[in-house]
Amino acid sequence: MRKENQWTLGKRNFVLPSLSDSLRGRHGCTLQRATFDPSVGEEVYALYQEEPDYVDQYGRVVPFNLLVHTGLVRTPYGVVAFIVWQIAAGSPQDVLIEHYVNPQNISALRIVSSAANQTHFKLIVINNQSAEIGAFVDFENVFGFDKLASAMVSAIGHEPGGDFAAATDHVMRTMTVHQLIVLSALDFVGDT
């Protein structure tokens, strides 16, 4: 049974803890865990860290669309799972952000599987210096995290572990974000 986690508590101003030194100043989007409503419990959401000069514009995007493109890439160094986040799709603020996931890492598999098991999926856009929230959006979970989790399970059983850092570096050097999106649409493991 999927976790029913639709946000029903109206507009809310969240305050996130200060960013750690390792996260401060980073630009990107990652899967995170948090409890937004104690009656729902912990859930998985996407945290998009944006530069201070641009973060406020995301709070004004209407309608706010999120597209998620997922897949696996086989490299000479092992397999890399990827998520290409298309944030504020179709708006002037539309941005594509790559997020690489180690399919051999059980914790990574658990977070993707948890995201797949929710009825809704939240995106929080924050200032990457102050952690101030620029946008909070709750979407019906139609993002295909279940397909990504299944592909990751298959990789664990059929692919050698490899060197994830080298494999990720290889993908970043040899493939564009648009090639990853095409690979996602073709729905198979690509080779580089």
pLDDT digit string (tens) for 36-68? 889 999 999 999 999 999 999 999 999 999 999
Low-confidence ranges of the chain (pLDDT < 70): 12-13, 187-192
For residue 76, whether the previous peptide bond is cis, meaning omega lies within 30 degrees of 0, is no
Which pTM does this prediction carry? 0.91
CB atoms within 10 A of CB 5: 23
Distances (CA, A) of 98 to 5, 9, 18, 36, 186: 26, 31, 24, 25, 18
Burial 8-22 (b: 16+ CB within 10 A, else e): eeeeeeeeeeebeee
